[in-house]
A and B are shown apart, each in its own frame.
Chain A
């Protein structure tokens, strides 16, 4: 998920076929609710998604949260899989 327009994500997926689902929060409704939006007080249009990971169990309870301070930092796939397993989410 990102704050890109859905047309941008459509084009991105067309060029980069991926199994994951992609969704657009162009209106910035989900990102603030998840504390996953970065803003700049000097620019009202600077409202981007942070790089963040959330695991939610089948009942809708948050089981894991990782919000990166540095947007260039990534969780390795094995770390995310471990987090998913350790969270106990089912």
Chain B
């Protein structure tokens, strides 16, 4: 029982310490990513660099108007 309480407290502390993701700010290095693109293509930020500015747009859900 005591061990269970300790584990729960530890998990709670970890959650509190993690907090919300830090906002990305101008001047920072953009985090790299590799995602599945349409048509079976892979979309990797590192592969797109050096060819001019990149505009990334994130939207909520396809087919919903958002």
Contact = CB atoms under 8 A, between A and B. Distances in A.
Contact of A1 (B23, B26, B31, B35): B35
Interface residues of A, number: 53
Provide the main secondary structure of the chain A interface.
Answer: mixed
Interface residues of B, number: 39
B66 A71 contact: yes
Contact of B54 (A6, A25, A56): A56
Provide the main secondary structure of the chain B interface.
Answer: loop
Contacts, number: 147
A56 B56 contact: yes
A72 B61 CA distance: 12
Contact of A84 (B39, B51, B53): B53
B62 interface: yes
Interface of A: 1-4, 6, 8-13, 20-26, 29-37, 48-65, 67, 71-72, 80, 84, 87, 89-90
